[in-house]
Amino acid sequence: MELALAEARAAAADGEIPVGAVVLGPDGAVLGTGRNARESDPDPTGHAEIIAIRAAARALGDRVLSGCTLVVTLEPCTMCAGVILAARLPRVVFGAWDEKAGAVGSQYDLLRDGRLPHPVPEVVAGVREAESVELLRAFFAARR
């Protein structure tokens, strides 16, 4: 989570919403990192999770990320949850809950929706939550 938080801080420094993500391989090695880049790219899909997942898939040479873990500072949205399922990520760890757009337990729970034909990933929420929340709070307070 420390690396994901560092990515989130870098996103904030770039004027992006401070969200950072890391994909770890089965052995714990970093396969991909990402930070929000929707404004700087400009790309509506430029979420930290998607950038990290794309990098990990390139590193492995495979779209299926078996045995990998996604670590992200904010609960993934519906778009990112769909990509998590498509990549067959078996584990997702996140910091802050997203009470407005979260899709991994707060507003929606796409990862554990039994109607979808994908394996259900393990979800670990609230890891270094206070730090993740503070980055977001400070970012938006500075914008008001």
| Active-site entry in 7, 16, 49, 75 | 49
- Comparing CA positions, the residue from 24, 116, 110, 113 lying closest to residue 65 is 24
Residue 77 annotated as part of some ligand binding site? yes
CB 23 within 8 A of CB 56: yes
Could you confirm whether 99 is annotated as catalytic?
A: no
Residue 118 annotated as part of some ligand binding site? no
CA distances from 38 to 11, 31, 41, 63, 102 (A): 10, 21, 6, 22, 18
Please report, in range form, the residues annotated as the binding site for Zn(2+): 47, 77, 80
User: Binding-site residues, please?
Assistant: 47, 77, 80
Which are the catalytic amino acids?
A: 49
